[in-house]
Amino acid sequence: MISLEPHVDGVILTVRAQPGARRNGIQGEHAGMLKVYVTQAPEKGKANQAILAVLSQELKLRSSQIELIAGETARQKRFLVRGIEREVLRSRLNALLSRERS
């Protein structure tokens, strides 16, 4: 199960990043983290911007709702998601992951 931590401003989502992949997308769960693949190389923040775009699109959020708060240069990243309740985000993640398995 993907870890979603409550935060005073929203929910913290932990992501396992895979830059330089063949395509952009969410590829399931890894040790409690959401696995996100992006084609961008990890240089000058390009991969981080691509991850933000994937999360925004797949979770049906505005890009302004998602902020990278830790792990700028690491594979493990923490994003603050604003304007959504924890259980609503969990529901969207579960629906997305069940769709990926199909």
Q: Mean pLDDT of successive 10-residue segments in the chain (102 residues)?
A: 93 96 93 96 93 96 96 96 95 89 62
Domain count, the chain: 1
Please tell me the predicted confidence (pLDDT) of residue 63: 93
Q: Which amino acid, 46?
A: K
| Buried-state track 66-96, b at ≥16 Cβ within 10 A, e below 16 | bebeebeeeeebbbbbeebebeebeeebeeb
* Distance (Å, whole) CA 48 – CA 76: 11
Q: Are the C-beta atoms of 89 and 56 separated by less than 8 Å?
A: no
Strand extents, DSSP E, 1-102: 4-7, 10-18, 25-30, 33-37, 66-70, 76-81
Please tell me the predicted confidence (pLDDT) of residue 99: 79
Domain that holds residue 49: 4-101
We report the CATH number of the domain holding residue 71 as 3.30.1200.10
